[in-house]
Amino acid sequence: MGRIVTAYITALEDDGKPSVPRRKDAWKAMKGFWENVMPAVIDKPMAKAYRATRKVADATARYELMLLSTALQWAIDNKDVTKILSRPTIWLPPQPERKTRHLTRKQFDRFLNAIVAPHAKLYAMIGIHTMARPSAILELTWDRVNFMRGLIDFNPAGRNQTVKRRPIVPISDDLMPVLQTAYKSRTSVNVIERGGEPIASIKKAFQAASERSNVHATPYTLRHTGAVWAAEGGAPMTQLAQFMGHDDDRTTQKHYARFSPDFLRDVANAVTRKPVQKRGSI
């Protein structure tokens, strides 16, 4: 398995896949257990035994075991690289229910006021108003902020869209003056920068603000919070899906539809409506 997974990750790296760093980290944690295992002997008890060795959440263990499964399928599809003829069925931990944690408006204001660094405060405003993924915000450059048309293009030139789409979104009325002020004082081509240098991670600034405000928030919290607020404001799920970069609105419906003021209201009101008379019925 060590040879197969290593070759699989190398192939992804050669193709410029953005998932490579996470897969490398996963394999680093898995390597001791799986490196010398032959694919033919992998079965459900072995996968469960591996799960028992990992003191991590089910979601993490599931991701790691799925890495084995996808690497094996890649090996089958590349017979010139390996001689794997069939892929064993790999047991996976149950998929945990994803909880959408979001902030109230008062909590966000408290958190925002606790942010000290200007670049982190700017990040928070962009995050809440665009619902963009952290990497998309950190990699945003001023040439993709169109003040005339009021649009932000989160997908840089030459980057192929992946399942985690980076859409073009409108600049909200509240975000526009914040961006204009930041643009006037810019010292870099990057929107999120400090001393003219791009920022690789915003986590430390968020951790410090969380401690000062007693409001726990991560960069992804802002994405979910913005989506919840939009749903509460009556935004259609199809439009919210496009805004968030979802390929279709099934994911959006699953996590945010219940926050809409009209969620299932027609069903609730249908209980007391008179039955619809079909044509020809007496």
116: Cα separation from own chain's centroid: 26
Give residue-wise pLDDT tens across range 98-118.
666 899 999 999 999 999 999
- pTM, two decimals, is 0.67
Q: Contact, 88 vs 40, CB < 8 A?
A: yes
pLDDT at 101: 83
Instruction: Inform me whether the pLDDT recorded for 81 exceeds 80.
Output: no
The domain defined by 105-259 carries CATH number 3.40.120.10: no
Instruction: Give the type of residue at 97.
Output: E
pLDDT at 127: 97
Instruction: Inform me whether the pLDDT recorded for 282 exceeds 70.
Output: no
CA angle 38, 62, 227 (to 5 degrees): 150
Cα gap 86→101, rounded to integer Å: 41
- Mean pLDDT over 200-228 rounds to 94
Give residue-wise pLDDT tens across range 168-193.
999 999 999 999 999 999 999 999 99
Nearest Cα to 102, choosing from 269, 223, 232?
223
- Mean pLDDT over 237-243 rounds to 94
What is the DSSP-derived secondary structure letter of residue 163?
S
**Where are the chain's structural domains?**
2-77, 105-259
Which residues have CB under 8 Å from 274's CB, separation 6+?
none
pLDDT at 76: 87
Q: How far, in Å, are 29, 141, 191, 237, 252 from residue 170 at the CA level?
A: 41, 16, 16, 17, 19
Instruction: Inform me whether the pLDDT recorded for 251 exceeds 60.
Output: yes
Q: How far, in Å, are 65, 99, 177 from residue 5 at the CA level?
A: 12, 31, 49
pLDDT at 98: 62
